[in-house]
Amino acid sequence: MKVRKIVMASVGLALCASALAQPYPTRPIRLIVPYPPGGATDIIARGIAEKVGQTIGQPVVVDNRGGGGQIIGTDLVAKAAPNGYTILLPSVTHSINPGLQPKLPYDTIRDFAPITLVASGATVLVVHPSVPARSTKELIALAKARPGQLIYGSSGNGSGGHLATELFKAMTDTEITHVPYKGNGPATIDLLAGQVNLMFTSPLPMLPHIKSGKLRALATTGTQRSSAMPDLPTIAEAGLAGYEATLWYGIVAPAGTPEPIIALLHKHLVAALRQPDMKERFGPLGLDIVASTPHEFLTHIQRETTKWTKVIRQSDIRPD
């Protein structure tokens, strides 16, 4: 590991001198998406790639490398040359994996250079109408009165919905039984049928069911109200101070990428994100654009990694 760090540092210094001596970029930039095509991460990546490619002087090519819970694509970038031509669009899973996967082939913090936190969005707490709770406080009281009797679904062990509920349980000292599914679709089907009582999940697929009365939304999980569901209080507003569980997406490069290249990528990414039509593109996904500084994004990753590792260990969560 020490030898690798020395080599990477030497490569970084050499590339930094080169970056100052010649223009960047001189060929296409590859944006790795560690998920298959079609999901939210892929949609975000293609919107960014289109905009940045128009201004930076070279195409930004989206390369989907799904598998392994984001690990395969992330490892590819961790081991790529730190020259600005291979970058990654990780999601919140980037900060979950260190606690969930004991033998990651990379270090989430040390092996990457953060560029910007692209966007974040809240999940929503929904219950089946048969659940006699119309607020977060009432749900907490119900869970305390019926320990272990309420059942929640998730898209799998270690998923965002699983961890959001375990954080809720820990902060409220309640016992709610977990049923993991192979994906959000099957979990939603059983929630609609009343086989499970509640879920923490992405708001957009739930909106039609909430509007039809098939599900009841109690609160969202961000620090501020969701733009997708502005009439709903946050869980913190509803009485559980300090609760937060958000989805997020960002851009990172391999560690050792020269600072001038990071600065240039940051400049073009932020300019792209601030274009008016990007808000329209992200809004239907339930996401708010952030466009942070590299340092702010690093702090965010560190904070999220610490939080979710603690939840995983306390709840003894193991991957499927």
**Residue 144 belongs to domain spanning:** 124-220
320 inside domain: no
77 inside domain: yes
229 inside domain: no
| C-alpha distances out from residue 115 to 151, 208, 245, 316, Å | 40, 36, 22, 32
Q: Exposed e or buried b for every residue in 272-308, given b needs 16+ CB within 10 A? A: bbeeeebeebbeebbbbbbbbebeebbebbeebbebb
225 inside domain: no
Residues 81, 158: one domain? no
Backbone angles phi, psi at 86, to 5 degrees: -135, 120
Q: How far apart are CA 311 and CA 101, in angstroms?
A: 14
Instruction: Give how many domains the chain has, as a whole number.
Output: 2
Residues 161, 309: one domain? no
CATH number for 187: 3.40.190.10
Residues 104, 130: one domain? no
Residues 112, 152: one domain? no
* pLDDT, position 21: 55
Residues 207, 274: one domain? no
Residues 28, 163: one domain? no
| pLDDT, one tens digit for every residue, the chain (320 residues) | 444 544 454 555 555 444 445 689 999 999 999 999 988 899 999 999 999 999 999 999 999 999 888 999 999 999 999 999 999 999 999 999 999 998 999 999 999 999 999 999 999 999 999 999 999 999 999 999 999 999 999 999 999 999 999 999 999 999 999 999 988 899 999 999 999 999 999 888 899 999 999 999 999 999 988 888 889 999 999 989 999 999 999 999 999 999 999 999 999 999 999 998 998 888 888 899 999 999 999 999 999 999 999 999 999 998 87
255 inside domain: yes
Residues 14, 108: one domain? yes
Residue 217 near residue 136 (C-beta atoms within 8 A): no
Look-up of token digits 């073009």 = 268
Residues 148, 258: one domain? no
Residues 21, 116: one domain? yes
Residues 146, 117: one domain? no
Residue 254 near residue 86 (C-beta atoms within 8 A): yes
Residues 114, 141: one domain? no
Question: Three-state secondary structure along 102-171?
Answer: CCCCCCCCCCEEEEEEEEEEECEEEECCCCCCCCHHHHHHHHHHCCCCCEEEECCCCCHHHHHHHHHHHH
Residues 162, 266: one domain? no
Q: How far apart are the first and last CA of the chain?
A: 29
* pLDDT, position 3: 46
203 inside domain: yes
CATH number for 42: 3.40.190.150
26 inside domain: yes
* pLDDT, position 95: 96
